[in-house]
Amino acid sequence: MKNSIKILVYFVFLNIVFSQISLAYVVSTGDFNKDFFVTWSPSHINTSADGRSRSLKLDQESGAAFASNDMFLFGQIDMQIKLIANYSAGTVLAFYLSSDQPNRDEIDFEFLGNVSGQPYILQTNVYADGFDDREERIFLWFDPTEDFHTYSVLWNVYQIVFMVDWVPIRTYRNHADKGMAYPRWQPMSVKVSLWNGDSWATRGGHDKVDWSKGPFIVSLRNHKIDACIWKGEARSCRAESEGNWWNKERFNSLTWTQRRLFKWVRKYHMIYDYCQDYKRFQNNLPKECSLPKY
Ligand SMILES: *[C@@H]1O[C@H](CO)[C@@H](O)[C@H](O)[C@H]1NC(C)=O
Ligand SMILES: *[C@@H]1O[C@H](CO)[C@@H](O)[C@H](O)[C@H]1NC(C)=O
Ligand SMILES: *[C@@H]1O[C@H](CO)[C@@H](O)[C@H](O)[C@H]1NC(C)=O
């Protein structure tokens, strides 16, 4: 009797160990050289000796970009970023997740530079099944060029939450049960790029990149990828097991504290919301606009 209980306990234990392993979630190494590869202009990227910080340069010759070695399906990605000081008009720094498929899913942070002394805009967007047109824009409540701040995406089967220093600035909920598209099948890679977007980025393209004020440099550090690595099939990442912490109940929706912060951002810092743009959608706002955000 005693022995059979021991054996039972042992098997339960083994089961737990194996289910954890098969979920294959990962906390990144924290080393830019190990977690990412350069996709555009290595000469415009510097990485510190320990791999924990990296800078990107934009000049007349080129911008720069890099992407993760792995693709992921659900998890949380954090990146600390310090943006271009002083004159940055026309520049765009993008930190995003993308599936790179024809009907692509994408989760975007885009930092739009400005002339000296004027504020950056943080634009976010969500593509689901190839459809985007979901821009939101905020002014940050601090100067993002003075110091590093943490920009994060939490992505699970229930919601996508964009965060700035852990303050939720935007959500995109899974309303698939109401026929809405939601990124939940395609794995995505993590990407960062710095480029000239002066045809549209600053005051609708009015303020251009001034090369005499360059080179323009963005610094990144302490990235964290705590996500399920794609191994060719969705099953293990989609398993709604609590072994992947982002599946736990408290991540199904914003917490009470998060809701208060979220409302504060939207009340005092939001400058554009596609869900308020009746003119653009000819009074026919996308359906998700009338559905709950948390
Ligand atoms: C990398 O370092 C070199 C030498 O210090 C410097 O000239 C270059 O501008 C740096 N590039 C970036 C992207 O920071
Ligand atoms: C930005 O401007 C300040 C004040 O004019 C100056 O001290 C600083 O060196 C400038 N920073 C860069 C990166 O050019
Ligand atoms: C740049 O500053 C101007 C003036 O304050 C502002 O209207 C604009 O929204 C700011 N940001 C961008 C990216 O255009």
Tell me the domain boundaries of the chain.
25-290
Q: Give the residue-averaged pLDDT of 180-200.
A: 96
Q: Is the pLDDT of residue 171 over 90?
A: yes
Q: Residue 88: is its pLDDT beyond 60?
A: yes
CA distance 167 to 244: 22
Confirm if 48 and 68 have CB atoms less than 8 A apart.
no
Q: Of the bound ligands, which one is closest to the alpha carbon of residue 83?
A: 2
* Residues classed as catalytic: 106, 110
Q: Is the CB of 86 under 6 A from ligand 2?
A: yes
> What percent of the chain has pLDDT above 70?
91
CA 81 / ligand 1 centre spacing (Å): 17
Asked whether residue 35 carries a pLDDT value surpassing 50, the answer given is: yes
Indicate if the pLDDT at residue 166 is higher than 90.
yes
User: Is the pLDDT higher at 84 or at 27?
Assistant: 84
Using pLDDT thresholds of 50, 70 and 90, give the confidence band for residue 4: low
Residues with CB under 6 A from ligand 1: 44-46, 55-57, 217
CA 38 → CA 33, 58, 69, 192, distances in Å?
9, 15, 10, 10
Nearest CA to ligand 1 atom 4: 46
Q: In the block, which residue shows the tokens 């289910």?
A: 19
Token representation of residue 252: 């199904």
Please write down the HEC assignment for all residues of the chain.
Answer: CHHHHHHHHHHHHHHHHHHHHHHCEEECCCCHHHHEEEEECHHHEEECCCCCEEEEEECCCCCEEEEECCCEEEEEEEEEEECCCCCCCCEEEEEEEECCCCCCCEEEEEEECCCCCCCCEEEEEEEECCECCCCEEECCCCCCCCCCEEEEEEECCCEEEEEECCEEEEEEECCHHHCCCCCCCCCEEEEEEEEECCCCCCHHHCCCCCHHHCCEEEEEEEEEEEEEECCCCCHHHHCCCCCCHHHCHHHCCCCHHHHHHHHHHHHHCEEEEHHHCCCCCCCCCCHHHHCCCC
For ligand 2, pick from 83, 84, 86 the residue to mutate: most ligand atoms within 8 Å of CB.
Answer: 86
Report pLDDT for 25.
65
Is 60 exceeded by the pLDDT of residue 6?
Answer: no
Q: Is the CB of 116 under 6 A from ligand 2?
A: no
* 238-293 residue pLDDT tens: 877 777 899 999 999 999 999 999 999 999 999 999 999 999 999 999 999 999 99
Task: Name the closest-CA residue to atom 9, ligand 3.
Answer: 203
- Cα of 48 from ligand 3 centre, angstroms: 33
- Looking at all shown ligands, the one closest to residue 217's CA atom is 1
pLDDT digits (tens, 9 = 90+) for 201-231: 999 999 999 999 999 999 999 999 999 999 8
Tokens of 221: 């550090």
pLDDT value for 21? 43
Name the pTM for this structure.
0.90
Ligand 2 closest atom vs CA 213:
14
Contacting residues for 292 by C-beta, under 8 A, at least 6 apart: 173
Evaluate whether 130 touches 104 at the Cβ level (below 8 Å).
Answer: yes
| Ligand 2, atom 10: closest residue by C-alpha | 86
Q: How does pLDDT run across 115-146, given as a tens digit for each residue?
A: 999 999 999 999 998 888 999 999 999 999 99
pLDDT at 132: 86
Q: Does the structural domain 25-290 have CATH classification 2.60.120.200?
A: yes
Q: State if residue 43 touches ligand 2 by the CB under 6 angstroms criterion.
A: no
Q: CA-CA distance, 209 to 290, in Å (whole number)? A: 38
Ligand 3 proximal residues by C-beta, below 6 Å: 112, 114, 118-119, 121, 201-203
